[in-house]
Structure 1
Amino acid sequence: MAKLTEAQKRANKKWNDAHKKRMNYIRRRSDSKNFILKYADEEDLDKTLEYIKIRREELKQNN
């Protein structure tokens, strides 16, 4: 990976500081994906599907 210039580091920090919610969302989405693809066993996958169904119902009710 190429080294970042000081200006690019400052720009990245400025963006990250201004978009904390977005960064949190991206991090959590990535964590979920990695857990499912790398660590989840059959029981974890079944529970995840159950949680997805519940969440979809919540979203339908709110829209």
Structure 2
Amino acid sequence: MAKYTEAKARANKKWDEKNKERKKYIIKRSTAKSFILNLASEDDLELIEKYIAQRRENLNDISSR
């Protein structure tokens, strides 16, 4: 993999500092996807499906207000 130039590294660092919440969201989403695709057992997947259903209900409740 090619190394970044100094300018690219500075630009990345500037973006990271300016977008801390977005970066945190992206990292957590990536971690969840990796867990589901690579490590989760059948029991884990069943629990995750329940969590997704709960989250959808919460989002529906919020959007219907």
Taking structure 1 as the reference length, the TM-score comes to: 0.96
Cα distance in structure 1, aligned partners of 2:46 and 2:7: 46
Cα distance in structure 1, aligned partners of 2:3 and 2:38: 29
Taking structure 2 as the reference length, the TM-score comes to: 0.93
In structure 1, the partner of 2:35 is 35
> What RMSD over aligned residues (CA atoms) do the two structures have, in Å?
0.5
1:10-25 paired onto structure 2 within 5 Å: 10-25=10-25
Unmatched 5+ stretches in structure 2: none
| Pairs aligned (count) | 63
Please give the secondary structure, in 1, of the residue aligned with 2:44.
helix
In structure 1, the partner of 2:62 is 62
Once superposed, which parts of structure 1, at least 4 consecutive aligned residues long, lie more than 3 Å away?
none
> Percent of counterpart pairs with the same letter?
51
Residue 2 of structure 1 deviates from its aligned partner by 1.0
Cα distance in structure 2, aligned partners of 1:35 and 1:13: 27
Unmatched 5+ stretches in structure 1: none
